[in-house]
Amino acid sequence: FVSDMGYEVIADIDPTTLIIDPTVSKESYVPAGPLVYDKNGIKIWAEMAARIDENSIDVVFYIKNLTSKCIVCTDNFENDILLDGTPATALFVADMLPYTEIFSSMSFFTLQDDGITETPSTLAFTLEIYDSRTYEDIDIVPIEFTLQFFD
């Protein structure tokens, strides 16, 4: 049929309301890595690292947002990411709805350009968590931990 605006409508679907109940818990996944952040209703585990090739690694985080806020977890873009004390270029942005759990990766694509030729054993960076609706900071904190590589 043709809509009031003159567009052809292929499907007319009633809107769906998503209800998120914070009292219902689905404890189906048990994190294996170290808990690197646990404040303000947000928990972050460093699950594992994986070498993609000689120039790239991914560090996988498991993140729980137990708050009623939409949040973003990021490396705060201050270029302070260190692998074994050497500055490194990475991308890490985890955008989350309230009461959700996700896996998110910090990806390194230019290890050789950054002067990193050996597999690193530690990661340090400044974690920034903010409310994605108001852009108000929830926390800015240094994080450092030993990488656990997946074989």
* DSSP-assigned states of every residue in 80-107: --EETTEE---B-EEEE-TTEEEEEEEE
Please compute the mean of the pLDDT values over residues 16-37 and round it to a whole number.
Answer: 70
With a cut of 60, say whether residue 80 has pLDDT above it.
Answer: yes
In sign, the C-alpha dihedral spanning 72, 77, 78, 81 is positive
120 near 106, Cβ under 8 Å? no
With a cut of 60, say whether residue 23 has pLDDT above it.
Answer: no
Residue with tokens 């530690």: 122
Q: What is the mean pLDDT of the chain?
A: 86
Please compute the mean of the pLDDT values over residues 90-98 and round it to a whole number.
Answer: 94
Please compute the mean of the pLDDT values over residues 107-122 and round it to a whole number.
Answer: 94
Question: When comparing pLDDT for 32 and 23, which is higher?
Answer: 32
Listed in sequence order, the residues at least 6 apart from 95 whose beta carbon sits closer than 8 Å to its beta carbon are 70, 71, 72, 132
With a cut of 70, say whether residue 40 has pLDDT above it.
Answer: yes
- What does the pLDDT read at residue 11? 53
Give the pair of three-digit tokens for residue 46. Answer: 């460093």
Query: What is the share, in percent, of the chain residues with pLDDT greater than 90?
Result: 70
Buried b (16+ CB within 10 A) or exposed e, 96-134: beebebeebbbebbebeebebeeebeebebbbbbbeeee
Please compute the mean of the pLDDT values over residues 105-120 and round it to a whole number.
Answer: 94
Question: When comparing pLDDT for 29 and 61, which is higher?
Answer: 61
